[in-house]
Each structure stands twice: as structure tokens, then as C-alpha cells.
């Protein structure tokens, strides 16, 4: 029986296939998507034999020997994982590290996403999951469909379509399947394309991955974003077979643009940097304030601050310095988040003393970090602190994988579930004023419809999921996701 305590989103995935060994390309790609997951990482290569290296920790620590980097095979998968639910101890992180694979038939997989109806999917297969990760509800039913059959593109299309009509949630997933001398790399994307997936190439070698920045790292040419509801199949010869098996209007995750993707990436052709800068401009236009300097929270607020300073004419200055390259939001526990903030930042009194400061950041979830930042600015001598935030108030759990587990943990909600005013939140965090981006501004900057369930609940979810997420929301009582059981 599946017992899903653990989901994968947000994660970084990469799959590379061609006519030459690709393990080193995958290794370098993993560094480019390390920001998407810091709890574990792994790589699987295939040359008729299976070569797997995975563990908890960072890429640089796991692949600490040349023999782990240079492994044979012209096709492989890589993964950096951010655990958003369940057990965060080292043993669990090791056990749930990806890639995952089966040997009968040989099928390997990595996923960026969260499937919220795994209790229904468990009934589709008699296979037993090896771990608690929801990738099992992609891997096991698909293996049943491919078992004892001659692998070809039509079979993969049909099998993936069957799976995609059963699962509910956000996903971009990559698979590696054996077909004798010519293995296949193939991918599926959820119908709403909530999770990103892009295709690139170089000299007959092809790469599917989470972000376009990977292509800069490994000198590949960007080809396209994979549409929602698609299955794309590539063999080692370079043949590509693609079919959009389910067609629905795309609703990319707004948090990809706001926080998760790196600013040098593009999503559906839209620059992440330009999106954040435009949001900063709109904040300055809609919520101006008299101030002396604009200060970004490093690094998450930098591109918003650039736009705000440009539009307002208030000079941009570095009042906060970041001492370590870790992301507080995707730390596994609140204790580790606090530690990153406390140990990782320092304040420049020469910049801040006596100044009216506009403090820019991407979002406020729990409020813990922004309180500490404001306190640090005040200690360094800031006269006033006006906070401007690049996305609207977060008010509901993300049931598609972002680590916002319970409606009880949002600073924007009170103990009775009511939505607080901006003025109330501003007073709680110690700011002289607080203003957020609106949903309309978010859509204007992204230039697309978006999945916005966490800021507009439940209306921001796709229509067919609204009833499901409302039920999950109503079950939310203990500070954990309602589908964790």
C-alpha cells in the first residue's frame, strides 16, 4: 500500500540522450538546477547496465569522486530534490532520493511535481513502492503498461496518456526505458503545464530539463518549451516523437516566476529577470513612498529592487550582504531556515544609518525571516522601513508541491482563518508600511494566465481541481498537508 508522506516539488530534473557518453553533461547540469532542491541529488546512467549515484545533500558533496561523475552510458537522468512534505531526517532523505528505477521492465524516472491523488493511483497496480515518494505513482503504473511488450513510440504514447488521465496534480517527469540497443528518453508534462520543461540540443545530443539556464552551462541550443499535456520521446539516434495527448489552457505556477526559477532562465519565452523587474516597477507606480534608498533582500529581492528603483528614481543600494549561498525558503525545517537568515546576512551601517529604506523581497510566507531582517535594519540605524513584496499575500497551502503545508502557517491569516489587512501584517513585522503586488499586476508582468491557488484560493486553481483542493483545505487541522496520512 502506498503511504505518501513525501512529494518532490520543487525539484530540478534533467535527462540527456545522444550518441556519446553524457554523464558529465548531466553532472554539470545538476549544478545549474541545485537551487531547485538542496535536500538530495542523484544521477542514473544506462549502457545496458544500470549505474546509479544518489544520496542526501548537495551535488558537490554527493559527486565527490571522478568515478561517480564519469559513468558509462549515452543516456541518463539527473535530479536535485527539495522535499516539501513528510519526514526530513537524513535516512528519509536518502531513501527518497531520485532517480528511482525498476528492473522488470527497466524503467527509471525523475519528477518535478506533486501528485495529490496517490491513494487512487495505488489501486491501479499490484507493484509495491520501494519508498514513500509520490514518484512511485508515476513509475509503477507506467511499468505495468510497458511490461513484456516491445517498446516503441506508439506504446509509450498510449501508456503515458493512460497514466496522465488518472493522475491529478502538477508534474514534469522524465523517464528512461530499455528497448534493447536503442533506449528511449521520454517525458510527460501535466495538462496545465504548471511545472516547466524545456528542450535543448547540441551536435545530435538532446537535453530535457527544468530551466533554460542549464543550456548555457553545457553549451546547448534552446529548442522549445514542452507544451502542457505532452509526451515527447527521443532515442539515441536523435529521432524525436512528440504528441500533445491532453490539451488544456496552460497555467504556469506563479511562484516559478516570483521565486524558484533563476533570473537568467526563461519560462515560455518570458525572461524571469524581466518579470521580476517589471513587478518592481509596478510596485513603485502603485505603491510609492518617500524614501532615501531601495535595499533588496539578497538575492531574492534584487530584481524587484532594480525595477522599483528605476521607476521611482530612488537610488538602489546594498544595505544587506549575504554571506552564504543557501536559500532559506527551501530548508527542511524552520530551525534551519532561521539559521540561514541569522548566519547568512550582515547589515551595512554606513549605508543604512539615518535612512528611510524601501526593503524589497519576493514574498512573505510565515513572516519569520522578514521580521528578523527588519530588526537587523533597525539595529544598523535605519530610520524608516517600508516593505514592498513582489507577489500578493500567500493565504493557502499549495497542493501542487510548494512547501506551504498548512493554512495555519501563513502570516496573512489569523488564528480563526480570516485574511489580515496589509496594515495588520505590516504592524506585526515591524514595518512603517507594507504593500504587495496584486494578482492583476502579477498576470501583467508574467504575460500569461497563472496557477495562483496559494494567493487566490480556491479560484486560482484549475476549475476541475477546485472541489478537490477545497476538501483538502477543510481537512487541514494539524499543520500538515491533508493528503499526508
The catalytic site residues sit at 11
Specify the 3-state DSSP secondary structure of 72.
Answer: coil
Strands 75-81 and 270-271: unpaired
Query: Which one-letter DSSP state was computed for residue 334?
Result: H
Closest among 174, 250, 230 to 207, alpha carbons compared:
174
Locus of grid cell 531556515: 337
Nearest Cα to 276, choosing from 366, 360, 394, 393?
A: 360
Taking Cα atoms as reference points, which of 257, 431, 409 lies closest to residue 360? 431
52 phi, psi to nearest 5 deg: -125, 135
Contact 376, 345 (CB under 8 A): yes
Report the b/e string of 211-241 with b at 16+ CB within 10 A: bbbbbeebebebeebbbbbbbbbbbbeeeeb
Cβ-based neighbours of 221, under 8 Å, separated by 6 or more: 200, 201, 202, 215
Cell of 160: 503515458
Integer Cα distance of 31 and 216 in angstroms: 12
Cα–Cα distance between 485 and 65 in angstroms, integer? 39
Q: Which bin fits 219, alpha (ψ -120 to 50), beta or left (φ > 0)? A: left
Question: Any idea of the CA torsion for 157, 158, 163, 164, to the nearest 10 degrees?
Answer: 60
d(CA 95, CA 77): 18
Q: Can you tell me the distance from the alpha carbon of 437 to that of 472, in angstroms, rounded to the nearest whole number? A: 27
Going by C-beta distance under 8 Å and a sequence separation of 6 or more, which residues neighbour residue 217?
28, 29, 31, 32
> How far is 78 from 72, CA to CA, in rounded Å?
14
**Do residues 41 and 59 touch, judged by C-beta distance below 8 A?**
yes
Cβ atoms of residues 153 and 241 within 8 Å: yes
E strand or H helix at 44, and its extent? strand 40-46
Nine-digit cell at 476? Answer: 487541514
Grid coordinates representing 309 are 528603483
Amino acid at each position: 500500500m502506498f503511504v505518501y508522506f513525501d512529494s518532490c516539488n520543487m525539484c530540478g530534473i534533467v535527462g540527456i540522450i545522444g550518441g556519446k557518453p553524457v554523464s558529465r553533461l548531466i553532472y554539470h547540469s545538476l549544478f545549474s538546477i541545485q537551487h531547485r532542491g538542496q535536500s538530495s541529488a542523484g544521477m542514473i546512467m544506462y549502457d545496458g547496465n544500470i549505474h546509479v549515484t544518489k544520496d542526501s545533500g548537495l551535488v558537490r558533496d554527493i559527486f565527490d569522486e571522478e568515478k561517480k561523475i564519469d559513468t558509462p552510458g549515452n543516456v541518463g537522468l539527473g535530479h536535485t530534490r527539495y522535499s516539501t512534505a513528510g519526514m526530513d531526517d537524513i535516512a528519509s532523505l536518502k531513501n527518497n532520493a531520485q532517480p528511482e528505477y525498476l528492473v522488470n521492465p527497466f524503467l527509471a524516472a525523475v519528477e518535478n511535481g506533486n501528485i495529490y491523488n496517490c491513494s487512487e493511483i495505488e489501486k491501479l497496480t499490484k507493484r509495491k513502492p520501494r519508498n514513500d515518494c509520490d514518484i512511485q505513482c508515476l513509475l509503477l503504473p507506467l511499468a505495468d503498461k510497458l511490461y513484456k511488450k516491445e517498446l516503441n513510440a506508439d506504446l509509450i504514447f498510449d501508456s503515458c496518456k493512460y497514466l496522465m488521465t488518472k493522475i491529478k496534480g502538477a508534474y514534469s517527469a522524465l523517464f528512461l526505458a530499455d528497448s534493447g540497443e536503442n533506449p528511449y528518453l521520454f517525458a510527460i508534462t501535466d495538462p496545465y503545464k504548471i511545472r516547466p520543461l524545456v528542450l535543448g540540443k547540441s551536435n545530435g545530443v538532446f537535453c530535457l530539463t527544468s530551466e533554460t539556464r542549464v543550456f548555457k552551462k553545457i553549451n546547448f541550443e534552446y529548442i522549445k518549451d514542452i507544451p502542457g499535456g505532452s509526451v515527447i520521446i527521443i532515442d539515441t539516434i536523435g529521432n524525436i516523437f512528440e504528441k500533445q495527448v491532453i490539451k488544456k489552457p496552460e497555467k504556469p505556477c506563479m511562484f516559478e516566476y516570483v521565486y524558484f526559477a533563476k533570473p537568467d532562465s526563461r519560462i515560455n519565452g518570458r525572461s524571469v529577470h524581466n518579470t521580476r523587474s517589471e513587478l518592481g516597477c509596478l510596485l513603485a507606480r502603485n505603491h510609492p513612498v518617500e524614501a532615501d534608498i531601495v535595499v533588496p533582500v539578497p538575492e531574492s529581492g534584487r530584481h524587484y529592487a532594480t525595477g522599483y528603483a528605476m521607476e521611482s528614481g530612488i537610488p538602489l543600494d546594498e544595505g544587506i550582504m549575504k554571506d552564504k549561498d543557501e536559500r532559506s525558503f527551501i530548508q527542511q525545517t524552520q530551525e534551519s531556515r532561521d539559521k540561514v537568515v541569522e548566519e547568512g546576512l550582515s547589515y551595512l551601517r554606513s549605508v543604512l544609518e539615518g535612512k528611510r529604506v524601501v526593503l524589497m523581497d519576493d514574498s512573505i510566507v510565515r513572516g519569520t525571516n522578514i521580521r528578523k531582517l527588519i530588526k537587523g535594519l533597525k539595529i544598523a540605524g535605519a530610520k524608516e522601513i517600508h516593505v514592498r513584496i513582489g507577489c500578493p499575500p500567500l493565504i493557502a497551502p499549495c497542493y501542487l508541491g510548494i512547501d506551504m503545508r498548512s493554512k495555519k502557517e501563513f502570516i496573512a491569516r489569523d488564528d480563526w482563518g480570516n485574511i489580515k489587512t496589509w496594515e495588520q501584517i505590516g504592524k506585526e513585522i515591524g514595518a512603517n508600511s507594507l504593500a504587495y503586488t496584486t494578482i492583476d499586476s502579477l498576470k501583467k508582468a508574467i504575460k500569461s494566465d497563472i496557477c495562483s491557488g496559494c494567493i487566490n484560493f480556491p479560484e486560482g486553481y484549475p476549475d476541475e481541481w477546485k472541489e478537490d483542493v477545497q476538501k483538502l483545505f477543510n481537512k487541514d487541522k494539524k499543520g500538515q498537508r491533508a493528503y499526508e496520512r
